[in-house]
A and B are shown apart, each in its own frame.
Chain A
Amino acid sequence: MPTSASDLARAAALLVIISMVMVAVLPAVTASARYYSVRIGFIVSISTPTGVRVSLYLPMLVPVVLLAAAAFYELRGARSSAAYLSIAALSYYIVVALELAHGLSYLRGLAVFYGIPGALYSLLVVPGARPTIYLPPLIVMTIASASTLIASIWPEVRRAPEAAGELARRGFGASLEELERTRPWAARALLEMAKYLPEAREGETGTR
């Protein structure tokens, strides 16, 4: 079992690294209409008939850093820390993406502000440019967070049925599967009890 748990941790770390790269490179929110497109992520690009410009949006570096730290912890075996960090990155990313999409939907289209001398302010409005959250990085990030979460609770999940089987053999002289058929209430109680046995928690200390 420890081998499969570490395999899972490595797979989770790989997914976290992939999602980190996707968050760094791909936009979180896009809005486009004829001749215009705005893509906002860590890299911001805006394309209008008058040109294309690219800049960086530093707040989007936060999930990249969190994911990098999560991958580092995951590879070092600190799986719960990795899970916390990946969950934080995902939560932050979703909130920022939603807020950006909300902000871009000003005037029911794409709005780009310009400072024009003599005017209070000026803005270019492109009707029909509906902002949407770009899903690929979000999906990969969600899977990566879920995998770090599973990796952090994996030993407990695997060892609890084993400990419950041992209790069933000692207490009832039958396997857990047999007990589930004949006395399901007893099997359920043993499974619940096994979660709190020291044997079921041994794997966690090994990962520290």
Chain B
Amino acid sequence: MDGELKFFYAALVIVVAVLGGLVAVKFLPPRLSGLTPPPFYTNVTNITGVGDGLLLSLSITQCHVKPKSATVLIELNGRVIEEASLSEVSCGSNNLTMGLSPYLVGKFATVVVNLSLEGGRGYVLSYFLRYIYVAESFKIVNISLVNGTPVAYVSYTTPFRTEVSLSNVILINVNRSSTVFGFSCNSTRSAVVGPGTGYLALPLACSYENLGVLSPGDVYQVRGLINVTYLTPYGNYSEGVGSLAYQR
């Protein structure tokens, strides 16, 4: 080793050193995080559907540097679904209203908050995982005969204009374990309701009817699939909601 310098050994030394350097940086990167306090702390304290909008509460605390403006993105599977901006934000609580896409309802989404710092001092990006809670429910509460035709009553709460229809409805007399209506029991039409809460009556056409097992005082089980289509400016979004209820 201490004799004549061999180019082969020199090349070997370079290769080992280069690989060593790569491994060192890969497994022991410099730790810059936590070295200095962040300009401020950010948190998404609440994100809730209100009507057909989404209300987001943004808390900014311990401001070493004042925030200037905010841009909030809501991403689902890496795709931006909603975006909103606030031209002025303050240290404290800030509320932001943005559109509510039907794709976000009842989903875990990534909320990306981009807060720019006063005086062009860069920006702070924060990523949050939040459940988008929106009040919505659909349920078949009752089936009764109106002029000899079975009619299903559906209670609903929806944030959007919605088209509702029923399929695979079945009414069972629990006391007698007998089916009253069933087997390809679908609504004869669909109904469009506005956003909000209400009741809806949909006539049914059933291939099997056994009115003989209808008896006052018995308990009946109502099952069915509620086909919901949200009619929104973002486009139509359909989903099926299962429903199970008991009636007397």
A58 interface residue (CB < 8 Å to B)? yes
How many Å lie between the Cα of A118 and that of B42 in the bound state? 9
Contact B64 A50 (CB under 8 A): yes
**Using an 8 Å CB-CB cutoff, how does the interface string of A74-85 with B read, 1 for contact, 0 for none?**
000011110110
Contact B16 A88 (CB under 8 A): yes
How many Å lie between the Cα of A110 and that of B122 in the bound state? 9
**Using an 8 Å CB-CB cutoff, how does the interface string of A51-62 with B read, 1 for contact, 0 for none?**
111010111001
CB < 8 Å neighbour of B122 from A117, A124, A201: A124
Contact B126 A119 (CB under 8 A): yes
Contact B43 A118 (CB under 8 A): yes
Name the CB-closest residue of B to A47: B36
B235 interface residue (CB < 8 Å to A)? no
A14 interface residue (CB < 8 Å to B)? no
Inter-chain contacts of B29 with A (CB < 8 A): 103
Contact B34 A115 (CB under 8 A): yes
How many Å lie between the Cα of A165 and that of B97 in the bound state? 91
What's the least CB distance linking A20 to chain B, in Å? Answer: 16
Contact B5 A149 (CB under 8 A): yes
Name the CB-closest residue of B to A54: B35
B127 interface residue (CB < 8 Å to A)? yes
Inter-chain contacts of A34 with B (CB < 8 A): 120-121
Inter-chain contacts of B121 with A (CB < 8 A): 34-36, 49, 126
Inter-chain contacts of A117 with B (CB < 8 A): 41, 43
Inter-chain contacts of A81 with B (CB < 8 A): 1-2
Contact B38 A116 (CB under 8 A): yes
How many CB-defined contacts (below 8 Å) exist between A and B? 170
A109 interface residue (CB < 8 Å to B)? yes
Majority secondary structure of chain A interface residues (helix, strand, loop or mixed): mixed
What's the least CB distance linking A60 to chain B, in Å? Answer: 9
Name the CB-closest residue of B to A151: B5
Inter-chain contacts of A127 with B (CB < 8 A): 122-123
How many Å lie between the Cα of A47 and that of B225 in the bound state? 61
What's the least CB distance linking A97 to chain B, in Å? Answer: 9
Contact B17 A95 (CB under 8 A): yes
Contact A92 B3 (CB under 8 A): no
CB < 8 Å neighbour of B39 from A88, A118, A124, A153: A124
Segment with Cβ contacts to B, from A38-46, A132-140, A173-181:
A38-46
What's the least CB distance linking A9 to chain B, in Å? Answer: 12
Show 30 A/B contacts (Cβ-Cβ < 8 Å), sorted by A: A36-B122, A44-B35, A48-B39, A50-B65, A55-B35, A59-B24, A80-B4, A80-B6, A83-B5, A84-B5, A84-B9, A84-B13, A89-B17, A91-B18, A95-B21, A99-B26, A103-B29, A112-B33, A114-B34, A119-B43, A120-B127, A123-B124, A123-B126, A125-B122, A125-B124, A126-B121, A127-B122, A127-B123, A149-B5, A208-B3
